[in-house]
Amino acid sequence: MKKILISDKLADDGINFLNEQSDIQVHIQTGLSEDELCELIPEFDALLIRSGTTVTAKVLKAAKNLKVVGRAGIGVDNVDIQAATEQGVIVMNTPDANATTTAELAIAHMFSLSRNLPEANASVKAGKWERSKLMGAEVSHKTLAILGFGTIGRIVAQRGNGLNMRVIAYDPFVTPEIFAEYGAESVSLEELVKQADYLTLHCPLLEKTRHIIGAEQLAAMKKSAMLINCARGGLVDEAALYDALTNGQIAKAALDVFEHEPPKDSPLLTLDNIAFTPHLGASTREAQVAVSVEIARQVVTYLETGEAINALNITRLSADALRKVKPFMGLAHILGKMLINLIDAPIKTLDVVACGQVADVEIRPISVEVLVGMLVDQFSTPVNSVNAENIAKKQGISLVETRTDEAEGYLSVIKVKGHCDNGETVSLEGTLLGDSHPRIIKINDFEIEVVPEGVLLVTKHEDKPGVISAISSVLGESNINISRMQVGTADSQQQAMAVISISEPLDDARLQAVCDIPAVKTLKQIQL
């Protein structure tokens, strides 16, 4: 039974979906302080939030069983993603579920600013009839500038085209084909702010996008330009915006989001040429239902299948891609675990090569699972596919991935090779029999077929009679049963390798007894 904590208000449709799952137990408790959340979170597998809950490093450290944080909505600046990654916790959001709602609010603000609707409303309520004073402007044929061309930005572009506007956009991660598909002209950030009649923001809040609209950008805008932000508050330097509105550098602005919410003491509240809404971007009935149902489905899918839809700290695989790569991930884990046990110095570079048919599937999950196998027994904190790359980087391990169609007699082969600073290298090759039975087929230069399970002794010894018998005698005298034994040789070497499956691990004294056999050069014990 998986346990899910909901700590912010979600629409009933999403909660009902969770309650319909036979293997899901739901607990709802909102308004938790950080300490209260820390006390409650350890027993839960998943945490579902909106913007009210702040998931700090302290919370994540306390979350011993937590596997996933699901944000019903887009913004995740209330989640410490770095800390989540280090703790091996998936963070996912619903970037598309409220996209139309947010895009429509931006368009609504554009119309509101253009036709002076807030001022007109206040004027009529005050008993005035100021038609000439409230002269507005058409949006048709004006330039709509979109900063950030993800799902929301593209919907805004479609609406702008429908309004007969010229649409320009800036997003360094979007291809020219996408801009063309949505009828937008791709421009630089400098040109975007310079040409904008209406500048609307639709990008995530990251360190590199914080205050992306500041004094320099505002100074470059037309004096008649209007700024709209329905994305994240920190994208705009509010002090610079206050100066720009006060000094006439731009004409108007509309904000749905703020650097600090609510903006109680903001000097922007004193100005007449700016309009506000209280973070209403996702506040429609349709969006509330959509984000709640979507995040509930995503979290259940992840807990049941491992498919991480809209994950922000792990490469997302489709169900089909996951199905194709999953058989090889178990083999990759074994290869990583064996590699770290066969090498004597810290690994600085890890080579992962996908050969044959496996070269056609996603290689990154395979490489990451090799890292998990290497690191899982080396740290007190959990190591999984979420944090393995991050941990490896901190350890100074570089990952190199390669694909090739050649599999040297097999349908698919995964090769791994660890390089150490001292020049030592260890390489392993593995394959699958019948898509489910892993086999090690090569260790360094030794051709050898090994069933990788249980406790393995790996010896390198002189290739001469009597060595295997001597090893077997030590094991027999210790009442250790041998279930399998494979011996391989390498071309042009006077040495052999043995991989022996034994019934239980050897203690230090027994290991030393095997090492004392004159012909035995190296001995490693691996527990899989």
Tell me the pLDDT tens digit for each residue of 283-307: 899 999 999 999 999 999 999 988 8
22-40 mean pLDDT: 96
Beta strand extents in 211-346 (DSSP E only):
226-229, 252-255, 274-276
What is the C-alpha separation between 303 and 21, in angstroms, rounded?
12
Average pLDDT in the chain: 92
% residues pLDDT > 90 (the chain): 75
Closest CA to 68 of 353, 410, 305: 305
Q: Are strands 482-489 and 520-527 parallel, antiparallel or unpaired?
A: unpaired
Give me the catalytic one of 279, 297, 364, 439: 279
pLDDT band at 75 (very low <50, low <70, confident <90, very high): confident
The alpha carbon dihedral of 65, 67, 72, 74 has a sign of positive
From edge to edge, which strands make up the β-sheet containing 347-356? Answer: 398-404, 347-356, 412-420, 425-433, 437-443, 446-450
pLDDT band at 380 (very low <50, low <70, confident <90, very high): low
41 token code pair: 């979170």
319-339 mean pLDDT: 89
Tell me the pLDDT tens digit for each residue of 430-469: 999 987 799 999 999 899 999 999 999 999 999 889 999 9
527 token code pair: 């527990």
* pTM to 2 decimal places: 0.62
Element (H, E) at 99: helix 99-114
Question: Which one has a higher pLDDT value, 56 or 207?
Answer: 56
Question: Which one has a higher pLDDT value, 399 or 388?
Answer: 399
Check residue 14 and give its pLDDT.
Answer: 96
What is the C-alpha separation between 80 and 58, in angstroms, rounded?
10
Check residue 286 and give its pLDDT.
Answer: 93
Give me the catalytic one of 71, 159, 202, 232: 232
* Complete domains list, the chain, with CATH: 2-97+287-305 (3.40.50.720), 99-276 (3.40.50.720), 318-444 (3.30.1330.90), 453-528 (3.30.70.260)
pLDDT band at 259 (very low <50, low <70, confident <90, very high): very high
* Catalytic residue check, 261: yes
Above 70 in pLDDT, residue 414?
yes
Above 80 in pLDDT, residue 220?
yes
Give me the catalytic one of 130, 261, 304, 408: 261
* Catalytic residue check, 232: yes
* Catalytic residue check, 323: no
CB burial of residue 272 (10 Å; 0-12, 13-18, 19+): exposed
Tell me the pLDDT tens digit for each residue of 46-65: 999 998 999 999 999 999 99
164 DSSP assignment? T
Are 121 and 92 in contact by the 8 Å Cβ rule? The answer is no
Check residue 381 and give its pLDDT.
Answer: 61
Element (H, E) at 407: none
Question: Considering only 14-28, 266-280, 452-466, 488-502, which range has the smallest mean pLDDT?
Answer: 488-502
333-344 mean pLDDT: 94
